[in-house]
């Protein structure tokens, strides 16, 4: 039996959509807000806010807010890599990094997300490994739903707390 690696995990999902649509869903603020975030703001190196419909680039910093969480629960980080085609990497919660790779497979795209460099203390294991796996599993399913013409599955009701979809 192999030992669980608490420092990283990978989740994958197939999405029936064009590669460019999937890439844009990860790299434009307005599209990130359709399936993932309540608010996405990116800043270029001189501090100016990036255009909401424009692609983000390596070196941009971000501030993100989610439905179901107060404005004080802001995630701040940095875009590490974008290649304009199929790869995005950014810093994330707890000092971790998230890499997203999109691979065309016929009329679908296989999206693979890896979160790594997760702290392996008890707090990191629970909050950045286990909880983030739950979160990414939901948000990948929501991305699939949105891009395949389905519903937005996120909880937008502020009165409902501690649900998987926010």
Give the E-state strand segments of 6-158 in sequence order: 8-15, 39-43, 61-65, 75-82, 87-92, 96-105, 108-116
**159 lies in some domain:** no
Collect all residues with Cβ–Cβ distance below 8 Å to 19 and sequence separation of at least 6: 85, 86, 102, 104, 109
Average pLDDT over every residue of 85-110: 97
pLDDT per residue as tens digits for the range 24-73:
999 999 999 999 999 999 999 999 999 999 999 999 999 999 998 899 99
- Give the residue among 67, 71, 45, 70 at the shortest CA–CA distance from 56: 45
**154 lies in some domain:** no
- The pLDDT of residue 159: 87
The encoded tokens of residue 81 equal 């890599």
Torsion of CA 14, 132, 43, 89, to 10 degrees: -50
* Residue 125 banded pLDDT, cuts 50, 70, 90: very high
- Give the residue among 26, 46, 22, 44 at the shortest CA–CA distance from 36: 26
What CATH number is given to the structural domain containing 99? 3.30.530.20
- The pLDDT of residue 138: 97
**28 lies in some domain:** yes
The domain tally of the chain equals: 1
Give the domain range for residue 68.
8-147
pLDDT score of 1 more than 80? no
Whole-prediction pTM: 0.95
- The pLDDT of residue 158: 86
**122 lies in some domain:** yes
**1 lies in some domain:** no
**153 lies in some domain:** no
The share of the chain scoring above pLDDT 90, in percent, equals: 91
**104 lies in some domain:** yes
**109 lies in some domain:** yes
């Amino acid at each position: 039996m192999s030992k669980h690696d608490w420092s990283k995990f990978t989740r994958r999902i197939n999405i029936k959509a064009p590669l460019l649509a999937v890439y844009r869903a990860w790299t434009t603020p307005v599209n990130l807000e359709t399936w993932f975030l309540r608010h996405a703001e990116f800043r270029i190196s001189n501090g100016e806010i990036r255009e909401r419909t424009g692609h983000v680039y390596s070196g941009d910093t971000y501030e993100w807010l989610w439905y179901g969480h107060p404005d004080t629960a802001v995630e701040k980080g940095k875009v590490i890599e974008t290649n304009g085609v199929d790869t995005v990497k950014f810093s994330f919660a707890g000092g971790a990094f998230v890499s997203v790779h999109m691979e065309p497979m016929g009329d679908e795209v296989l999206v693979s997300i890896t979160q790594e460099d997760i702290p392996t203390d008890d707090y990191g294991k629970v909050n950045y490994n286990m909880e983030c796996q739950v979160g990414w599993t939901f948000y990948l399913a929501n991305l699939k739903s949105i891009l395949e013409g389905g519903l937005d599955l996120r909880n937008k009701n502020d009165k409902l707390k501690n649900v998987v979809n926010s």
